[in-house]
Copies of this chain bind each other. A is one copy, B any other.
């Protein structure tokens, strides 16, 4: 089977700081899982006994509120480690993770993570760096949520989807999210998201083909985000 030692994905996360021996142990006890679009990796409030290393596909990390709405806090794709925060803090997960496309992930029992934290300072610093980055991004999201209006946040979301997941040969965004998911990223009602997509389309900024969305006027979107 595939060995962590040779896995390219590892290069993108803290596992790259693990020693040969550590990786060997991880590789021997890891479990490769296939997760279908829509299925959960884990749920809010669950006790996580390991972390998930994403080989393929995209996951949404979200939190459900009293009124039944989901807020998507982060989209995680190839190379990201899911669940590290909960495992490190030894707390229940504060977020749910669901696949938004078919996924292939490696489940790594937490013992390996906790051991390496104790014994491998490089690994710990690496984890720390990633978490520092996540924290900064979270701060940015907070500021955006409170200071930009829904249209601006929608525009920003499309630019984000392009930058992080790219476009296909025909110029459509590779990651296709349902309108509801888009609304939950942006933090608005599904109907509002749909209306704004229609508006952007009418203006010639986007083109739509079923679920697929293509960006036509990137500059216009950027200007809107900046408030021009």
Closest B residue, CB atoms, query A185 = B146
In which size bucket is the chain A interface? 35 or more
**Taking A128-B127, A147-B71, A187-B145 as contacts, is the C-beta distance between A139 and B89 under 8 angstroms?**
no
Give the number of times this chain occurs in the complex, counting copies.
Answer: 2
Contacts of A89 in B (CB 8 A): 129, 132-133, 136
Cβ B142 vs Cβ A138 within 8 A: yes
A56-87 contact mask (Cβ, 8 Å, vs B): 1 or 0: 00000001011101010100000000000100
Q: How far is the CB of A207 from chain B (nearest CB, A)?
A: 28
Closest CB of chain B to A81's CB: distance in Å? 13
Q: Name A147's contact: one of B67, B91, B134, B136 (CB within 8 Å).
A: B67
Known: A71-B142, A117-B121, A121-B124. 10 other contacts (CB 8 A): A66-B147, A69-B147, A71-B143, A73-B142, A88-B128, A88-B132, A89-B129, A128-B131, A142-B142, A146-B188
Give the 4 A-B CB pairs with smallest separation, nearest first. Answer: A146-B187, A138-B138, A65-B147, A89-B132
